[in-house]
């Protein structure tokens, strides 16, 4: 069995235990830190039990939400209240009212704790500069480009700081996932996506950088810019748009057809494929996940280039459902690895 | 002197109280009936706010619709929803209606409400004033935003929605209708405008170009609302009173009402118009509730 192929990984967030979510905004100081640590250890145990190769940062127990966590660590951003994403799901969208500056590190406590407690591979997700700009109300900067580049400079500063912590005690490559769910929202702004993401990692060596994009209407526009993106891989959502029918034919795996574009256009980067939908409680059977992966292998022809993950963070599902989805994902990979 | 009148439409941001009440309901800590009553009461309060602000025309705030299609989809489709889809170039998503058979008008039962379908509460709460408009998603957009089973005929699906709309218009006695078309697709309304009868129709259609829509003739008052200044001349050519989206509903920046009035006056004067409607660039649900309330106050000062 070849364990170096089809690396299984988390994308980012996982549902917080109730004892943490119920007090996250009401408590602070040592008590909140204690609960974050407790939740991280429990989630780490859950990920280990599911069998993930890469545990990310154990479900982002230190972050309330991917945008707000960063924005709240900056000067120049005000919050006027939550904004709806869909149904009754909200996020706090900040208004940039003056020049943005980094007040403090936004991930060093989380990274330090996970480094001290995880035995498996770690991947640090960090919200990308373009998404930060796209999800902010801009009342200050001349235009979106100026704002995105300002965020890029801040992220560059943060990643350098985190890499400094990492390299003091770890010899492995530092894996960083730039979360850019907004990357393909505005097709006319793809150049800005490339420019801002590249600027956020400019001059930082010794890391493996990937980009996470989800719910895109067309990944092709991303792949077409791939050669300009100074990254090592993609981690993308596919399952949400796929059918739940079994089969490895293109008629069953319509959502994964874009993998052929990836292979034709930009096959120098690894690709993490979303094989389980984070927006439904339906637990995809092992066979269905296997079929999705087999289709991907057929399209890409090199299983070493493929990583396997949920579409996005699993925070929208209960911990039980999230675990069941991850377990089936890992079991599906184990089945396929036996053949290599 | 140009007469300026203001329009507010579409999904309005929920208050913290409503948001938390929905969360309670989702956890079965609040029953359908209680949430339905709360929704209707909240809608009435929002309508009062609109009215008090001086806005000339406004729709139901639709706080229980979840997205612009949800209530109509729940009302007309058997197994209404596919997966979530991105709404235009935004960070907002909607549940894609799943059209597996030809739509027909059904009933919404409050006890069957689920977070994935519609929420409890009335489809429309009217304040019975002359300012109130009924909101309907454009049929072109509805179909473009849905997943249609391949065996269905697209035109026939659209015709089915036309029948449903006709029934809804009669049932509610709609005198003023805001038809919202964020995904325009065809000349669908050609020959079909008569379903609106003598009702006054405000048609918000994105991407207006000459010939991009079918002209409304021989029926009630009609206003095309352009989503940006470049498209305003098209709206002006085809409306009794055209409209223009001048207030930014995707930024928390608070506009100066006098500046908006000046822009509206300048645009009308350049086309020798006596009247103009002014509205916002998208519905207000892209904003925090507190900012939307402030924008409503401002919009109220824009109209005469």
3-state secondary structure chain B: CCEEEEEECCCCCCCHHHHHHHHHHHCCCCCHHHHHHHHHHHHHHHHHHHHHHCCCEEECCCCCCCCCCHHHHHHHCCCCEEEEEECCCCCCEEEEEEECCCCCCCCCCHHHCCCCCCCCCCCCCCCCCCCEEEEEECHHHHHHCCEECCCCCHHHHHHHHHHHHHHHHHHHCCCEEEEEECCCCCCCCCCCHHHHCCCEEEEEECCCCCCCCCCCCCCCCEEEEECCHHHHHHHHHCCCCCEEEEECCCCCCCCCHHHHHHHHHHHHHHCCCCEEEEEECCCHHHCCHHHHHHHHHHHHHHCC
Q: Strand A306-310 vs strand A270-276: parallel, antiparallel, or unpaired?
A: parallel
CB of B95 within 8 Å of a chain A CB? The answer is yes
Q: Which residues of B touch A83 (CB under 8 A)?
A: 13, 286-288
Specify the pairing of strand A74-86 against strand A123-127: unpaired
The pLDDT-based confidence of B82 (bands split at 50, 70, 90) is: low
Summarize pLDDT for B108-163 with one digit per residue, the tens. Answer: 777 778 887 789 999 999 999 999 999 999 999 999 999 999 999 999 999 999 99
Distance from CA of B93 to the nearest CA of A (A): 5
- State the Cα–Cα distance between residues B1 and A43, nearest whole angstrom: 67
A19 in B contact zone (CB under 8 Å): no
Burial of A18 per CB tally in 10 Å (0-12, 13-18, 19+): exposed
What range does the domain containing B283 cover?
A: 3-69+121-302
Tell me the shortest Cα–Cα distance from A86 to chain B, in angstroms.
5
Chain A residues 301-340 within an 8 A CB cutoff of chain B: none
Residues of A with Cβ-Cβ distance to B95 under 8 angstroms: 86-87
pLDDT value of position B218: 63
| Whole-number Å distance between alpha carbons of A301 and A340 | 13
Chain B CB contacts of A217 below 8 Å: 86
Structural domain tally of chain B? 1
Please check whether residue A282 touches B, CB under 8 A. no
In a domain, A142, yes or no: yes
CB contact under 8 A, A82 and B19: yes
- Residue A65 in contact with partner chain B when CB distance is under 8 A: no
The per-residue pLDDT for B188 is 82
Asked if A84 and B285 come within 8 Å (Cβ–Cβ), the reply is yes
pLDDT of residue A65: 93
User: A279 and B26 in contact by Cβ < 8 A?
Assistant: no
Q: Which among A80, A90, A277 is the nearest to B252, CB-wise? A: A80
User: With 90 as the cut, is the pLDDT of residue B302 above it?
Assistant: yes
Q: Residue B155 maps to which CATH number?
A: 3.20.20.210
Q: Does the interface ipTM go beyond 0.90?
A: yes
- Scanning every residue of chain A, which has its alpha carbon at the shortest distance from the alpha carbon of B147? A241
Give me the residue from B22, B83, B90 closest to A241, CB to CB.
B83
- A161 vs A27, A64, A164, B96, B237, CA distance in Å? 27, 21, 5, 42, 59
Which pLDDT score is estimated for B109? 77
The set of residues, in sequence order, having a beta carbon less than 8 Å from that of B172 and lying 6+ positions away, is B124, B126, B134
**pLDDT at residue A89 in the model:** 92
Q: Which residues of A touch B292 (CB under 8 A)?
A: none
Which residue range is the domain that position A32 belongs to?
7-337
Residue B24's CB: how many other CB atoms inside 10 A? 14
Question: Residue B17 falls within a domain, yes or no?
Answer: yes
Q: Domain for residue B87, yes or no?
A: no
Put simply, the answer to whether A277 touches B83 (Cβ < 8 Å) is: yes
Q: Residue A122 maps to which CATH number?
A: 3.20.20.210
Query: Closest Cα of chain B to A29: distance in Å?
Result: 26
Tell me the two tokens of residue B41.
């009461």
The 3-state DSSP class for residue A24 equals coil
Classify A90 as helix, strand or coil. Answer: strand
Give the pLDDT score at B209: 84
Question: What's the gap in Å between the CA of A289 and the closest CA on chain B?
Answer: 18
- Min CA distance, B62 vs chain A (Å)? 13
**C-alpha radius of gyration, chain A, whole number:** 19
Measured between CB atoms, does B266 come within 8 Å of chain A?
no
Residue A86 DSSP SS3: strand
B155 in A contact zone (CB under 8 Å): no
CA distance B90 to chain A (A): 7
A241 to A120, B84, B156, B247: CA distances (angstroms): 31, 9, 26, 35
Q: Which residues contact B144 (CB under 8 A, 6 or more apart)?
A: B183, B185
Please name every residue paired with B162 in a beta bridge, in sequence order, or none if there are none.
Answer: none
* Number of domains chain A contains: 1
- Measured CA to CA, the distance from residue A254 to residue A324 in angstroms comes to 24
Question: Chain A within 8 Å of B294 (Cβ-Cβ)?
Answer: no
Q: Is the pLDDT of residue B233 over 70?
A: yes
Report residue B84's pLDDT band, with 50, 70 and 90 as the boundaries: confident
Q: Cβ contacts (< 8 Å) between A80 and chain B: which residues? A: 252, 288, 290-291
Measure in Å the smallest separation between the Cα of B112 and chain A Cα atoms: 16
Tens-binned pLDDT, residue by residue, of chain A (340 aa): 788 899 999 999 999 999 999 999 999 999 999 999 999 999 999 999 999 999 999 999 999 999 999 999 999 999 999 999 999 999 999 999 999 999 999 999 999 999 999 999 999 999 999 999 999 999 999 999 999 999 999 999 999 999 999 999 999 999 999 999 999 999 999 999 999 999 999 999 999 999 999 988 789 999 999 999 999 999 999 999 999 999 999 999 999 999 999 999 988 999 999 999 998 999 999 999 999 999 999 999 899 999 999 999 999 999 999 999 999 999 999 999 999 9
Domain assignment present for A2: no
Whether residue B83 lies within 8 A of chain A, CB to CB, comes out as yes
Interface test mutation site (partner A, options B20, B91, B294, max chain A beta carbons within 10 A): B91
Residue to test with chain A: of B288, B290, B292, most A Cβ within 10 A: B288
Partner B contacted by A227 (CB < 8 A): no
Give chain B positions within 8 Å (CB) of A140. none
Residues on chain A touching B13 (C-beta within 8 angstroms): 81, 83-84
The residues facing A8 across adjacent strands are: A308
Nearest residue of B to residue A180, measured between CA atoms: B91
Which site among A88, A127, A181, A278 would you substitute to test the B interface, given the most B Cβ atoms closer than 10 Å to its Cβ? Answer: A88
- For residue B100, being part of any structural domain is answered with no
Nearest Cβ partner for B66 among A87, A95, A241 = A87
Distance from CA of A117 to the nearest CA of B (A): 34
**Residues A4 and A338 sit within 8 Å (Cβ to Cβ):** no
- Which residue on chain B is closest to A240 by alpha carbon? B83
pLDDT band at residue B79, thresholds of 50, 70 and 90? Answer: confident
Phi, psi of B65, deg, nearest 5: -85, -20
Q: Is residue B89 part of a domain?
A: no
Q: Which of A85, A87, A240 sits opposite B115 (nearest CB)?
A: A87
Least trusted range by pLDDT, from A91-95, A246-250, B218-222, B242-246:
B218-222
**How remote is the C-alpha of A29 from its chain's centroid?**
27
């Amino acid at each position: 069995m070849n364990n170096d192929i089809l690396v299984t990984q988390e994308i980012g967030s996982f549902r917080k235990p109730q004892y943490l979510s119920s007090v996250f905004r009401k408590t602070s100081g040592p008590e909140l830190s204690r609960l974050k640590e407790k939740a991280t250890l429990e989630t780490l145990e859950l990920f280990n039990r599911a069998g993930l190769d890469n545990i990310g940062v154990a479900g982002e127990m230190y972050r309330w939400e991917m945008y707000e966590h960063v924005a709240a660590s900056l000067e120049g951003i005000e919050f006027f209240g939550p904004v709806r994403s869909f149904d009754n799901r909200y996020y706090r969208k900040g208004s940039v009212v003056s020049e943005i500056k980094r007040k403090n590190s936004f991930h060093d406590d989380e990274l330090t704790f996970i480094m001290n407690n995880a035995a498996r591979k770690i991947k640090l997700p960090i919200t990308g500069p373009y998404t930060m700009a796209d999800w902010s109300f801009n009342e200050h900067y001349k235009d979106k480009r100026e704002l995105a580049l300002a965020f890029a400079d801040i992220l560059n500063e943060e990643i350098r700081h985190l890499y400094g912590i990492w390299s003091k005690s770890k010899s492995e490559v530092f894996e960083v996932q730039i979360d850019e769910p907004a990357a393909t929202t505005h097709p006319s702004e793809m150049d800005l996506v490339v420019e801002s993401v590249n600027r956020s990692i400019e001059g930082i060596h010794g890391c493996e950088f990937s980009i996470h994009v989800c719910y895109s209407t067309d990944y092709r526009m991303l792949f077409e810019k791939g050669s300009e993106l100074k990254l090592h891989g993609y981690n993308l959502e596919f399952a949400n748009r796929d059918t739940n029918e079994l089969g490895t034919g293109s008629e069953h795996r319509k959502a994964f057809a874009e993998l052929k574009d990836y292979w034709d256009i930009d096959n120098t980067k690894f690709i993490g494929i979303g094989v389980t939908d984070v927006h439904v409680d339906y637990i995809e059977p092992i066979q269905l996940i296997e079929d999705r992966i087999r289709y991907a292998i057929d399209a890409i022809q090199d299983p070493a280039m493929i990583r396997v993950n949920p579409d996005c963070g699993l925070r929208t599902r209960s911990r039980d459902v999230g675990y069941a989805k991850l377990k089936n994902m890992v079991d599906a990979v184990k089945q396929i690895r036996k053949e290599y | 002197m140009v007469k300026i009148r203001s329009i507010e439409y579409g999904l309005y941001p929920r208050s913290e109280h409503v948001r938390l009440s929905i969360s309670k309901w989702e956890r079965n800590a609040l029953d359908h009936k209680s949430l339905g009553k709360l929704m209707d009461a909240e809608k009435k309060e929002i309508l009062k706010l609109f009215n008090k602000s001086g806005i000339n025309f406004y729709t139901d705030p639709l706080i229980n619709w979840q997205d612009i299609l949800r209530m109509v989809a729940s009302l007309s489709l058997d197994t209404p929803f596919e997966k979530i889809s991105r709404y235009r170039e935004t960070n907002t998503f909607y549940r894609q209606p799943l059209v597996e058979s030809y739509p027909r008008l059904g009933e919404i039962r409050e006890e069957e409400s689920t977070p994935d379908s519609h929420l409890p509460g009335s489809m429309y709460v009217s304040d019975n004033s002359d300012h109130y408009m009924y909101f309907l998603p454009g049929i072109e957009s509805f179909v473009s935003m849905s997943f249609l089973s391949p065996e269905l005929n697209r035109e026939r699906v659209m015709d089915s929605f036309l029948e449903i709309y006709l029934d809804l218009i009669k049932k509610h006695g709609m005198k003023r209708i805001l038809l919202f078309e964020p995904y325009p697709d065809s000349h669908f309304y050609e020959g079909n405008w008569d379903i609106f009868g003598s009702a006054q129709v405000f048609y918000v259609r994105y991407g207006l170009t000459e010939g991009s829509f079918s002209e409304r003739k021989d029926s009630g008052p009609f206003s095309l609302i352009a989503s940006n200044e470049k498209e305003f001349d098209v709206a002006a050519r085809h409306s009794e009173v055209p409209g223009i989206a001048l207030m930014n509903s995707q930024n928390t920046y608070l506009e100066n009402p006098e500046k908006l009035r000046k822009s509206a006056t300048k645009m009308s004067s350049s086309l020798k118009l006596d009247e103009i409607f002014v509205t916002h660039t998208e519905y207000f649900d892209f904003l925090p509730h507190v900012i939307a309330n402030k924008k409503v106050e401002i919009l109220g000062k824009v109209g005469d």
